[in-house]
A and B are shown apart, each in its own frame.
Chain A
Amino acid sequence: MIFALVATFLSDLSSFVSDNFDGLLDGLRRTLVVSAIAIAGSFFIGLILGAARAHRIPVLNQLAAMYVEVIRNTPILVQIFFLYFGLPQVGLRLDAFTVAWLAVTIWGGAFNTENFRAGFEAVPSRYREAGFALGFGRMATFLNVTLPIGGRIALPSSINTYISVLKNTSLMYVIAYPELTTTALQIQALTLETVETFTVLAVTYLVLVWTMSALIRLLESRLALPEERS
């Protein structure tokens, strides 16, 4: 009885996927493109502003601190509303795609600034002193000593931020940018195959997120500092 129900549901599911395959794939592709842009962007923001915070570079340090506090203490959904519905009033009209990648980049950049700052600050100062003693300048010491060690310390938390960036792209539903979630809801409205739609949507996100967290564990063991390798 239960087995028959499961079998029917699975065949419903597979016909749902094959009927809407192109639409779903387009949505997934947009989710991945927006996430990839935002992950790359927030990596560089985190790297630069995290270094500025950790090394107390005047002005940039204070500006970065303000940026981090404002973004971390306001909901990303309100930030999206502000960018998409608020800014046109002052003459800055951004299209849905721009807001989609910009909003998650700004958000991920703020969290990554904290991740990298913590990573760089965790590098013992004697390592940097050793770099200076070898005749490296400040920049060379950062690139050759602080970055390789601190970057690895920051790696797990920054990948967690990238996972959240991917999940947050689903919020672009509110500006009707046709990424995965928006596409799925459009398909649901057309086909009324509610259970199938949300099952496929949920499974897709779980596969993406679980793959990324499996990657963390792999990278963690590959990139572990020599003294932590077991």
Chain B
Amino acid sequence: MLPDWVEPVARYMLEEGLVGTLKIAAIALAGSVLVGITLGTLLTIKFLPLRSLIRLYIEVWRGLPILVTIFIIFFMLPAVSRQLEFDALTAAAIGLILWGSAQVAEATRGAVQSIPREQHEAASALGFGWIGRHSFVIMPQALRRLLPPLVSLLVNIIQNTTIAQVIGATELLEAGERQSERLVAPEPIGLGEIHAFEIYAGVMAIFFLISFPLTRLAAFLEKRLV
């Protein structure tokens, strides 16, 4: 049914590529949410030096193309200090966390500020300090509003993991490119045939199958929760 070359190519792309993509995406999502929610909550404190520092962080990492951020981490940091040398996968994940946490911080600020003042006052009256108030009273309510943007962020992170290909991290696009180059080589390594069209169409199809349900989910949550 399918030509013979498809099976090993698909196996490599799914077992090496897709796994790498999901690994980078999982690290990037966890890091972005953790850093972003912390910074976004701190941004609601009315203390100017702290606020301008966080603002600068958000505007810089949102403003730079992610590719440039990843280049800075992968090529520039090792030139500054030997200790700041990361492998491609880690560098890509850090770059995505810097970008993603800036997005989450901005969304968190809005979500936290949308919680009525009375909730803060009631929590304080019950004896909660600032940290307890935010982690047990404000954040659980703000999370409802944060859920749709977080699902959209997940879609964007999954799609942007492909940028890791540029520095050679093993993810879906890189796996596809390796296979497409291998097939061009003469036998026994490859077939001496070009299959770039099918392979990149396949990569697009896999990303579509992952992203489409998630964008539907984000749209649904947006309607349900707001």
- Residues on B with C-beta less than 8 A from A205 are 63-65, 68
Q: Which residue of chain B is the closest to A193 with respect to CB atoms?
A: B79
CA–CA, A194 and B76, complex, Å: 6
Give the distance in Å from the alpha carbon of A75 to the alpha carbon of B67 in the complex: 13
A206→B215 contact, CB < 8 A: no
Q: By CB atoms of chain B within 10 A, which of A69, A73, A194, A201 has the most?
A: A73
The digit string for B152-163, where 1 denotes a CB below 8 A from any CB of A, is: 000100011011
B191 within 8 A of A: no
Indicate if the CB atoms of A73 and B75 lie closer than 8 Å: no
Within 8 A of A (CB), among B63-79: 63-68, 71-72, 75-76, 79
Q: Does A21 contact B (CB under 8 A)?
A: no
CB atoms of B177 and A81 under 8 A apart: yes
Among B65, B163, B177, B212: residue with most chain A CB under 10 A: B65
How many angstroms between the C-alpha atoms of A194 and B203 in the bound complex?
A: 33
Judged by a CB distance under 8 angstroms, whether A78 is at the interface is: yes
Give the interface segment out of B31-39, B86-94, B140-148, B194-202: B194-202
- B68–A202 touching, CB < 8 Å: yes
- Which chain B residue shows the least CB distance to A81? B200
**B80: chain A residues within 8 A (beta carbon):** 195
> Which of B64, B165, B212 contacts A69 (CB under 8 A)?
B212
Give every chain A residue within 8 A of B63 (Cβ-Cβ): 205-206, 209-210, 213
Q: Does the CB pair B163–A201 fall under 8 Å?
A: no
Determine if B194 and A89 form an interchain contact, defined as CB atoms under 8 angstroms apart.
Answer: yes
Residues 80-115 of B, flagged 1 when their CB comes within 8 A of A and 0 if not, give 100000000000000000000000000000000000
Are A198's CB and B71's CB within 8 A? yes
Q: Which residues in chain B, 167-226, are within 8 Å of chain A measured between CB atoms?
A: 173, 176-177, 180, 194-197, 199-201, 203-204, 207-208, 211-212, 215
A82-B200 in contact given A73-B208, A198-B76 (Cβ < 8 Å)? yes
Number of A-B contacts (CB under 8 A): 111
Q: Is the CB of B67 within 8 A of A74?
A: no
Which residues does chain B contribute within 8 Å of A73, judged by CB atoms?
155, 207-208, 211-212, 215
CB neighbours (8 Å) of A78 from chain B are: 162, 173, 200, 203-204, 207
Given A181-B67, A209-B63, decide whether A75 and B200 contact each other with a Cβ distance below 8 A.
no
Please tell me if A124 contacts chain B, counting CB pairs below 8 Å: no
Would you call A216 an interface residue if the criterion is a C-beta within 8 Å of the partner chain's C-beta atoms? no
Distance (whole angstroms) from the CB of A57 to the closest CB of chain B: 22
Are B166 and A174 neighbours in the complex by a CB distance under 8 Å? yes
What is the 8 Å Cβ interface bit string for chain A, positions 169-211, against chain B (1 contact, 0 not)? 0110110000001000100100000110110011001100110
Does A61 interact with chain B (Cβ within 8 Å)? no
Q: Which of A85, A167, A202, A206 contacts B72 (CB 8 A)?
A: A202
Contacts of B211 in A (CB 8 A): 72-74
Q: Show 25 residue pairs from A and B whose CB-CB distance is below 8 angstroms, ordered by the A residue.
A: A69-B212, A69-B215, A72-B215, A74-B204, A74-B207, A75-B159, A75-B160, A77-B166, A77-B173, A78-B162, A78-B204, A78-B207, A82-B201, A85-B180, A87-B197, A167-B66, A170-B67, A170-B68, A173-B67, A174-B165, A181-B67, A195-B79, A202-B68, A206-B60, A210-B63
A sample of 20 more A-B contacts (CB under 8 A), given A72-B215, A81-B200, A85-B200, is A74-B159, A74-B207, A75-B162, A77-B165, A77-B166, A78-B207, A81-B203, A82-B200, A86-B197, A86-B200, A86-B201, A89-B197, A167-B64, A170-B65, A181-B71, A194-B75, A194-B79, A201-B71, A206-B63, A206-B64
Interface residue ranges, A against B (CB under 8 Å): 69-70, 72-79, 81-82, 85-90, 167-168, 170-171, 173-174, 181, 185, 188, 194-195, 197-198, 201-202, 205-206, 209-210, 213
Using CB atoms and an 8 Å cutoff, list the residues of chain B in contact with chain A: 59-60, 63-68, 71-72, 75-76, 79-80, 155, 159-160, 162-163, 165-166, 173, 176-177, 180, 194-197, 199-201, 203-204, 207-208, 211-212, 215
